[in-house]
Amino acid sequence: VNALKQIAVVTAVAIEALPRRLGTSLIVVIGTATTVAVLISALAIARGFTGAATQSGSPNRAIVLGGTNESSSAITRADAAIIMDAPGVEHGPTGAPIASAETLLTIAFTDFHTGQDASLPIRGIGLQAFALRPETKLIAGRRFEPGRRELIVGRSLEARVGGLTIGSEVKFPDGNWKVVGIFSSGGGPYESELLADVSSVMNAFGQSSFNDVTVRLTNPTAFAQFNAALTSTPTLTVKPLRESEFYAAMSGPLSRLLDVTAYGLGFIMAFGAVFGALNTMFSTVRARRTEIATLRAIGFGAPSVIASVVVEALLLGLIGALIGALAAWLIIDGMSISTMVATGTSLHVTFGLEVGWKIVMTGALFALGIASAAAVFAARQAARISIAAAMR
Amino acid sequence: MSFWTLVRAELWRRPERTIFTIVSLVVGFFLFGLLQGVNAAFGTAMAQTHADRLMVGGRFGNSMPLADLSQIERLPGVKQVTWLGLLPAYYRDPKLSFLILASDPARFFSVMADYKISAVTLNRFVHTRTGLIVDDKVAKRFGLRVGDQVNLNSPVVKRDGSRSWTFDIVGLVSRPKQADPPFAVMNYTYLDENRADARGGMVQWFYVQAVAPERAVAVGRSIDSLFVNSSAPTFSQQESAFAAQSVADIGDAKLFTDSIIVAVFFAMLFVTGNVIFESVRERTSELAVLKTFGYSDTRVLMLIELEALTLCLSGAIAGLTLAALAFHFVGRVITSISSFLATTNTLSARIILTGLGFAVILTFVAAAIPAWSAKRLTVAHALRMRA
């Protein structure tokens, strides 16, 4: 109990004197604050991207490709019918399988704002596509009518490219198609696409095969049954994938790069901040030399001196973490980023950055790490102060 | 006693403080070098494209008749034109597929002047209908050599119903850009006469070289307007615009790296400024002694500045050297993620010089206040404080 009391007294004395060492102490605060702010921002981007890229994939859905990736894959009408009739596929109230055979093409479009040509992804979807993806909802206008030259545009694409508002026209090989609605899809990749009736799109582009077929499974475990049925059909050479796995695999490389970047930056900056903090803590110990020697001379033990140094460093580190987290929150929270899911695809995801508790905690952990690394060495120095030499 | 001896003595007055400061500066400049290197990778991806080259594709992803060629060639501002049919193929391993570009051999290697082959090889290619020029990395990967006959599998079906295409390797070519995807070049006639496509003579791309880069955009417009009402409307893009679109897709990475650099410099400024400030305060009486010995105010100011400069420059040199070494590795990581960024894995001299420039600026900003107060220090006042 006596030792604890000593620690409390010495620490209180040290903290009370902090304002007098404000200049040097600020180094620890600023060092940890910048590290924490950068780490939190980078983690928010990484989490936001991974979340947006994978949430659009449901374990309840399976995507069937005829090739290695969606745009080079080809599935004939006959094969598509076999896939939709396979066991494990859910059927709607009318008895029709909840599935959509789709085609993915690009179309050149001149941006109204910049006057520049851009390639836009256009996806032909089946009649059951909205039942298949209930997260796809109209936010303005109406759905396209199959057989007419109409299309709907994703919210993120509409915001990015000028001239895709309701009523505007997009030039197709067979004439102008009209934008009749704008949809959202939970921030997922579809929001960066144009959607239209698959038969009309295939007619317009003179295509005879689909790119992929997406089906709703009766339940997530039905995938095994579905997969077995398709792979054992001798006439089919297709690759069924769980939709969640499909998106995870596609966004994996960028996801990993963002994670590596966030932690890489965090560790490098923390390393630099440790040395800045070492300077501060050594200087603090120097400034408190006489005080520490006096305390030791009147009977305070080395642990109380060490504890006062460590507590002071941790306190400064925590203040830094708080400022860093606050700065990151003020600057990036709510910011919206749009990026492609992987190189070589036209799929984009839009996600908002969110400074959540988990990443703030990671930031605080880094700050405490920086502070304690510096404190350990400085405390050793403080414990070594020779009473006689310091008092002379 | 020389000036330099003084600076050294002052820096080693508290060796641990100098070392800690330098290490934190090393880390700061290391980050600066790395992040600037990443920024530059975006820039060079753009710079390495050929602004005089246009990629003409189908406006609706459609293919175009080869017969359009003569009309394109007649347009003013066009220097030369080649075309590409595409044959995706793989050798043994379906997972390692690459694209075979089918073109006219002479035209292809003339327009794409950055793909270099010898005149002898080109001649052999022209005279071998089944000839194939293979990317040297692909060749190495599969152990293929010039003279080999290979069967490549492709999703494109031949007239005889098979998907196996036979080629004779007539030469190797290296990728102009390390990051380009694997490829090979074949004779367009071989592709066109053998594929089971009802319509013959269709191509996926025209590559048009304009007489000058500044004419390229106009040439592109005239090509597009020429075919706007045809059955195969075109979509012309400068090669650089094509790259720009892909780079923009990665999001505003530059804004992010720039913000980090600003934050890091802010922290470094504070660390250095504080250390100089503290060391000047500690030496007040010593500086007064120097002045008593006849050191002018300006020389004392210079002494402090030189001390700060030594700190900052040694941190910058070490940090930038480490960044240059590390960037070799980082460049490879970027390559594996995006082929459009992967253009360099060395740090340019410009970045290193900018870094050193920043070190000098950092010095003067950080040391300004302490150096100024050292200059204004009066001997009597300083020595009185000591007593």
pLDDT tens track for A365-385: 999 999 999 999 999 988 888
Length of chain B: 387
B106: confidence class by pLDDT, cuts 50, 70, 90: very high
Partner A, chain B 83-112, Cβ-Cβ below 8 Å = 88, 94-95, 97
Quick one: residue B118, left, alpha or beta (phi over 0 = left, psi -120 to 50 = alpha)? beta
**Phi then psi for A47, rounded to 5 degrees?**
-65, -45
- Closest residue in B to A343 (Cα) is B338
Rounded to two decimals, the pTM is: 0.75
CB proximity B250 to A under 8 Å: yes
Of B59, B251, B275, the CB nearest to A338: B251
CA A152/CA A257 separation, integer angstroms: 33
Residue A38 · residue A322 · CB < 8 Å: no
In chain A, what residues touch B245 (CB-CB under 8 Å)? 118-119
Instruction: Please provide the DSSP assignment of B76-125 as one string.
Output: TTEEEEEEEEEEEEESS-TTSEEEEEEE-HHHHHHHSTTS---HHHHHHH
A&B contacts, CB < 8 Å: 124
Residues 6+ apart with CB under 8 A from A309: A14, A281, A284, A285, A375, A378, A379, A382
pLDDT tens track for B238-250: 776 666 655 555 5
Of B259, B270, B278, the CB nearest to A30: B270
pLDDT tens track for B318-342: 999 999 888 877 766 666 655 444 4
Measured over the CA atoms of residue B77, residue B80, residue B83 and residue B89, the dihedral's sign is: negative
CA A139/CA A153 separation, integer angstroms: 10
Poorest-confidence range of A14-28, A61-75, A212-226, B101-115? Answer: A61-75
Our CA-based measurement puts residue A254 at a distance from the nearest CA of chain B, in whole angstroms, of 7
Reply yes or no on whether the pLDDT at B263 is more than 80. yes
Q: Enter the tokens of residue B25.
A: 């500066």
CB proximity A348 to B under 8 Å: yes
CA A75/CA A67 separation, integer angstroms: 9
- Closest residue in B to A42 (Cα) is B256
In chain B, what residues touch A204 (CB-CB under 8 Å)? 60
Helix (H, G, I), strand (E, B) or coil at A346: coil
Mean residue pLDDT of chain B comes to 84
* Distance from chain centroid for Cα A66: 30
Each as own residue / partner, the long-range contacts of residues B282-287 (CB below 8 Å, 24 or more positions apart, any chain) are B282/B13, B283/B10, B283/B13, B284/B377, B284/B382, B284/B385, B284/B386, B285/B382, B285/B383, B285/B385, B285/B386, B287/B374, B287/B377, B287/B382
CB proximity A257 to B under 8 Å: yes
CA B138/CA B249 separation, integer angstroms: 28
pLDDT tens track for B34-89: 888 877 766 665 556 677 888 898 887 778 999 999 999 999 999 999 999 988 88
Q: Residue B235 carries which side chain, given as an amino acid letter?
A: F
C-alpha closest to that of B82 among B54, B59, B104, B62 = B104
B293: confidence class by pLDDT, cuts 50, 70, 90: confident
Of B235, B252, B333, the CB nearest to A108: B235
* Disruptive mutation site among A343, A348, A384 for chain B (greatest number of B CBs within 10 Å): A343
CB proximity B337 to A under 8 Å: yes
In chain B, what residues touch A68 (CB-CB under 8 Å)? 94-95, 97
* Disruptive mutation site among A24, A28, A30 for chain B (greatest number of B CBs within 10 Å): A30
B127: confidence class by pLDDT, cuts 50, 70, 90: very high
C-alpha closest to that of B105 among B176, B191, B185 = B185
B387: confidence class by pLDDT, cuts 50, 70, 90: very low
CA A126/CA A79 separation, integer angstroms: 15
Residues 6+ apart with CB under 8 A from A74: A66, A67, A209, A210, A211, B155
Q: Residue A239 carries which side chain, given as an amino acid letter?
A: K
CB proximity A343 to B under 8 Å: yes
CA A100/CA A92 separation, integer angstroms: 13
Q: Give percent of chain B above pLDDT 90.
A: 29
Of the CA atoms within 13 Å of residue A359, those in its CB half-sphere come to: 28
Region A310-321 average pLDDT = 93
Whether residues B155 and A74 touch (CB distance < 8 A) is answered with yes
Poorest-confidence range of A7-21, A119-133, A260-274? Answer: A7-21
CB proximity A330 to B under 8 Å: no
- Closest residue in A to B237 (Cα) is A117
Of A42, A338, A343, the CB nearest to B339: A343
C-alpha closest to that of B59 among A122, A324, A255, A335 = A122
* pLDDT at residue A328 in the model: 92
Q: Give percent of chain B above pLDDT 70.
A: 87
CA A201/CA A197 separation, integer angstroms: 6
Helix (H, G, I), strand (E, B) or coil at B176: coil
C-alpha closest to that of A306 among A371, A391, A389, A381 = A381
Of A24, A116, A269, the CB nearest to B274: A24
In chain B, what residues touch A24 (CB-CB under 8 Å)? 274, 278
Reply yes or no on whether the pLDDT at A322 is more than 90. yes
Our CA-based measurement puts residue A136 at a distance from the nearest CA of chain B, in whole angstroms, of 23
Residues 6+ apart with CB under 8 A from B202: B63, B64, B65, B66, B85
Partner A, chain B 146-185, Cβ-Cβ below 8 Å = 155
